[in-house]
């Protein structure tokens, strides 16, 4: 069983449908036992970092996700879900994240329009990573965000997009993946990314 963690923020339907379209059945749940027994964990999310972390803690998911990650269970964070994987965030204050990725979440201080909203192209940092298997460099994906992962460890960057600064689009730390854009909203390119991910975890 693959679980989509429901911590009470945002619409999880489109993420679930995205996986369903590549043939991966998922269960949306807030049940700790199910998360513990799951084969893989999908951490979605929209909204503010602070609210999300508070809810994860309140629902006793915070420590559980870290524990499962350390055991080697595949985890993928999408959009805000990716940002939650990092050490800390400066969104509306300073908050500690799950600490599964190295780096900090910061506001984009740039001259271009923020939020970074729309279709941007991907540059590959790790051509050989299996999640890129079905897509080519230069394909477009759909982003909506105002904060970004200022990753100190560039070794974790799988693919990035340019928006005056370098935006990590796909990151990876062994069994943990993070995707800043919305693969479930990124047309065929997003579909192929989810397909490649599915093959990694089944």
Partner 1 sequence: MLARRIIPCLDVRNGRVVKGKQFKDIIDVDAPEVLGKFYSDQGADELVFYDITASSDERKTSLEFVKKVADVINIPFSVGGGVSKIEDFTDILRKGADKVSVNSSAVKNPELIKQASEKFGAQCVVLSIDAKKNDKESWSVYVKGGRENSGLDAVEWAVRGVELGAGEIVVNSIDEDGMKRGYDIELLQAITSRVRVPVIASGGAGEMVHFRDAVLQADVDGILAASVFHFGEISIQDLKAYLKSEGIEIR
What are 33's two structure tokens? Answer: 């036992």
Q: Which listed residue (79, 91, 116, 195) is catalytic?
A: 79
Contact with partner 1 (CB under 8 A): which of 117, 130, 137, 153?
117
Task: Bin 157: left if φ > 0, else alpha if -120 < ψ < 50, else beta.
Answer: beta
Q: Are strands 2-5 and 26-29 parallel, antiparallel or unpaired?
A: parallel
3, 41 in Cβ contact below 8 A? yes
Instruction: Choose, by CB under 8 A, the member of 8, 13, 34, 37 that binds partner 1.
Output: 13
* CB nearer partner 1, residue 49 or residue 62: 49
* Size, binding site for partner 1 by CB under 8 A: 29
Is 116 designated active site? Answer: no
- Could you tell me the smallest distance in angstroms from the CB atom of residue 141 to partner 1? 9
In eight-state DSSP terms, residue 91 is T
Q: Which is nearer to partner 1, 21 or 67 (CB)?
A: 21
Contact between 144 and partner 1 per CB under 8 A: yes
182 given a catalytic annotation: yes
* Beta pairing class for 101-107 and 147-150: antiparallel
20 catalytically annotated: no
Under 8 Å between Cβ of 103 and 152:
yes
- In whole angstroms, the minimum distance from the beta carbon of 158 to partner 1 comes to 20
Q: Please choose, out of 63-71, 89-97, 114-122, 173-181, the segment that lies near partner 1 by the rule CB under 8 A.
A: 114-122
| Helix (H/G/I), strand (E/B), else coil: 136 | coil
CA–CA distance, 122 with 174 (Å, rounded to integer): 21
Residues designated catalytic: 79, 182, 184
């Amino acid at each position: 069983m693959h679980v989509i963690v429901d911590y009470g923020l945002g619409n999880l339907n489109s993420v679930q449908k995205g996986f369903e379209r590549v043939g991966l059945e998922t269960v949306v749940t807030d049940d700790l036992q199910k998360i513990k027994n799951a084969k893989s964990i999908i951490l979605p999310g929209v909204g503010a970092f602070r609210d999300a972390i508070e809810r994860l803690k309140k629902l006793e998911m915070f420590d559980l996700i870290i524990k499962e990650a350390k055991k080697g269970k595949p985890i993928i964070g999408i959009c805000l879900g990716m940002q939650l994987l990092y050490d800390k965030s400066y969104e509306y204050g300073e908050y500690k994240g799950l600490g599964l990725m190295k780096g900090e979440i910061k506001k984009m201080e740039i001259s271009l329009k923020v939020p970074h909203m729309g279709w941007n192209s991907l540059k590959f940092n790790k051509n050989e990573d299996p999640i890129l298997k079905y897509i080519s460099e230069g394909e477009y994906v759909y982003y909506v965000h105002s904060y970004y992962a200022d990753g100190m460890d560039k070794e974790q960057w799988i693919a990035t997009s340019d928006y005056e600064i370098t935006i990590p689009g796909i990151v990876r730390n062994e069994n943990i993946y993070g995707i800043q854009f919305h693969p479930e909203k990124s047309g065929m390119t997003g579909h192929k990314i989810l397909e490649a991910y599915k093959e990694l975890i089944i």
